Chain A
Amino acid sequence: GAVVSQHPSRVICKSGTSVKIECRSLDFQATTMFWYRQFPKQSLMLMATSNEGSKATYEQGVEKDKFLINHASLTLSTLTVTSAHPEDSSFYICSASGGTSDSYEQYFGPGTRLTVT
């Protein structure tokens, strides 16, 4: 299957700082990338959907000014958690799809575990 990488895999930051997470599709062009958050023992929750070259579409309740998403190329999307707080500590997972935003299989990155102290 297609390969999606994420970097960093783990990050610990202090409250108030910003953290950038990169998501790359290594062997295919990802027209759509998704960002998810998963709290312990809970399901994946979609945060936003981004299509290359356009603004991300955020899910209800997700602050677009706090979670900045950039999808500047067909192989790279970034999520920046600005002014992070302890409640932002979570497992952030990106996925990439080569098809339309709702009908194609998604390939997931390995995730980034964020801990805000």
Chain B
Amino acid sequence: RKEVEQDPGPFNVPEGATVAFNCTYSNSASQSFFWYRQDCRKEPKLLMSVYSSGNEDGRFTAQLNRASQYISLLIRDSKLSDSATYLCVVSASKIIFGSGTRLSIRP
């Protein structure tokens, strides 16, 4: 089993839709969790940290479920500019990136 797993997608949804994807992790000792966004051929950029209590930033909501060992990202009212690959990052003794979920928003 991979240490961090994501559905590679692609998720193809219409503009304005709500889309959510999860990321599972295997190490129960993981302490820090993040979502990054990566555009094609660019470096990843931090989208948001994921706290135990969950957090929201505008249209984006991230949640952590320690019991089931997954984090989630919800995007509401999706925009064309949300099209990107979303990487989850889990940190325990080292930092591990998921392979990313590709999201494509269509007009």
> Is this pair of chains taken from one and the same complex?
yes
Q: Contact string, A100-117, partner B, CB cutoff 8 A, digits 1/0? A: 011111111111010000
Among the 9-residue stretches A14-22, A38-46, A63-71, A76-84, the one with 4 or more Cβ atoms under 8 Å from chain B is A38-46
The answer to whether A43 and B100 touch (CB under 8 A), given A1-B46, A106-B46, A111-B43, is yes
Chain B nearest Cβ from A99, distance in angstroms = 10
**Contact partner of A49 among B87, B94, B97, B98, CB < 8 A?**
B94
**Contact partner of B87 among A44, A59, A91, A107, CB < 8 A?**
A44
B45 engages A102 (CB within 8 Å): no
Q: How far is the CA of A107 from the CA of B36 in the complex (A)?
A: 10
Which of B32, B34, B44, B87 is the most central at the interface, judged by chain A CB atoms within 10 Å of its CB?
B44
Chain A nearest Cβ from B76, distance in angstroms = 23
Q: A43-B98, A46-B96, A46-B97 are in contact. List 7 more A-B contacts (CB 8 A).
A: A46-B94, A93-B44, A104-B32, A105-B34, A108-B45, A110-B43, A111-B42
B-binding residues in A (CB < 8 A): 1, 34, 36, 42-46, 49, 59, 91, 93, 101-111, 113
A-binding residues in B (CB < 8 A): 31-32, 34, 41-46, 49, 87, 91-100
